[in-house]
Amino acid sequence: MTPDEKNRLLALIANPPAGSKLAAAKEYGVDLTLIAENLEMTLGERLKRASEAARFFKALQGAARRSRAEK
Amino acid sequence: MNFEQVIAILAGAGVEFVVIGGVAMSAHGLARVTQDLDVCYGRSQENIRRLARTLAPYHPRLRGAPDGLPFSFDEKTIAAGLNFTLITDLGDLDVLGEVAGIGMYPAVFAASQEVEQPAGTKWRVLTLEGLIRSKRAAGRRRDLEVIPELEALRELPPGLEKKE
């Protein structure tokens, strides 16, 4: 993504056109800045991040389960 | 689970599949955490054979089933069933013969797009439109919740994605 494209994207998500799905998503509570961040990544980078998140989430679940069992 | 690795294993073995679900959403740029890989697979006899042989080294078993329950993810089992939620040595993998709101593999294939990674791995992922259709059809709260995000992503200017 070029700096110009990034600036256009950031401007769009900061002030989405009224009545657009972007505006509706923002109103719904979607953090559009996270989508913008993801769009800056390549597909491989997105999958890597998703894999890391999945591993972290699974480890967290295991830790929580062990903690509950100890109580 | 290393999603890229599992996708590369399936694609490398020539299995006909389309990535759907949470990983497809992540591929499109959504910020969602998913633990498993969901794929829709072709139901031809040859593809079923490839799928069974490809996953066999990773010991697929039914997720949530009691220990000791006899189960073999082989050609016969796949042909007799349709959707399987599996745990494998690689992680959780859901292999589905049908996707809500879209249909069986040929329809899912038609609603997918090809992507390629630097290593040369080519695979198919459900389009944003396909994801929206499937989420709408599934109709559960957790499916409906993601639709505003998918629709927002569809409105972003084309060509913004960084190429590999």
Q: Which residue ranges make up each domain of chain B? A: 3-155
Q: Which residues of B touch A31 (CB under 8 A)?
A: 31
What pLDDT is stored for residue A70 in this prediction? 83
Indicate the SS3 state at residue B102.
Answer: coil
How does pLDDT run across B108-136, given as a tens digit for each residue?
999 999 998 767 889 999 999 999 999 99
What is the residue extent of each domain of chain A?
1-40, 43-71
> With DSSP H G I counted as helix, E B as strand and the rest as coil, what are the percentages for chain B, rounded to 5?
40, 20, 35
Q: Which residues of B touch A25 (CB under 8 A)?
A: 148-149, 151-152
How does pLDDT run across B76-104, given as a tens digit for each residue?
999 999 999 999 999 999 999 999 999 99
Chain A interface includes B146 (CB < 8 A): no
Question: Is ipTM beyond 0.90?
Answer: no
What pLDDT is stored for residue B157 in this prediction? 62
Chain A interface includes B140 (CB < 8 A): no
Say how many Å lie between the first and final Cα of chain B, rounded.
22
- Does 3.40.1280.10 match the CATH number of domain B3-155? no
Q: Is pLDDT at B159 greater than 70 in this prediction?
A: no
User: Model pTM?
Assistant: 0.89
Q: Which residues of B touch A37 (CB under 8 A)?
A: 31
